[in-house]
Amino acid sequence: MVANLLLNDRPKSSGFPLAWDNVLYESPSLGYVVATHQRGLDRGPTVFTYYYPLCDSDPREARSKLLAAGRDEWADIALTDLSRAHPEIRSLAERIDVMRWGHAMIRPSPGFVWSEARKIASKPYRGIHFAHTDLSGVPLFEEAFYHGTRAANEILTVRKG
């Protein structure tokens, strides 16, 4: 579940400024990012994007839990979790948009990184060049960046040829 919280102001500082990427201590969530961080402002309205992965149970059970809870329940889960770090979050939240995403991530198994299946998945198909972290077997930004650059270079090579 991903929730975007439009805040009319930033939470009070506890001695240090908000980071772009924030992890909540002993939380079931992945934390949140300050989605307005590139504006270069440390005051005023902002948006927190909160991530709740539902990875503590069987994938089928997690999908059922994801779909069973409604918008208000997910909003309350996000607000309750965030209030541990920001007690005034409820009074700052003007709007909360909740998205229930079936965010599939690869679960690498032994041997996948060097497997034929992974090699085949990285080959273009009918002019489509694939660029995603699954091609490395590790869901990291750096891998996504690498594969995006690789696919772009493949496309440029094909167009020149």
Task: Give the global pTM.
Answer: 0.70
Q: Which two tokens stand for residue 44?
A: 């005023």
Residue 43 has pLDDT above 90, yes or no: no
What percent of the chain shows pLDDT beyond 70? 97
Nearest to 18 by CA among 1, 35, 3: 35
Distance CA 40, CA 84 (A): 26
Can you point out the beta strands (E) in the chain?
A: 2-7, 21-22, 31-34, 46-51, 93-99
Nearest to 95 by CA among 75, 81, 113, 111: 75
Query: Over the stretch 3-35, which tens digit does the pLDDT of each residue have?
Result: 999 999 999 887 777 888 999 999 999 999 999
DSSP 33-80: EETTGGG--SSS-EEEEEE----SS-HHHHHHHHHHS-HHHHHHHHHH
Q: What is the pLDDT of residue 103?
A: 63
Residue 105 has pLDDT above 70, yes or no: no
Query: Over the stretch 122-161, which tens digit does the pLDDT of each residue have?
Result: 899 999 999 888 888 777 889 889 999 999 999 999 999 7
Q: What is the pLDDT of residue 104?
A: 62
Angle at the Cα of 131 from the Cα atoms of 119 and 140, rounded to 5 degrees: 95
Report the chain's mean pLDDT, rounded to a whole number.
89
Q: Residue 5: beta bridge partners? A: 48, 96
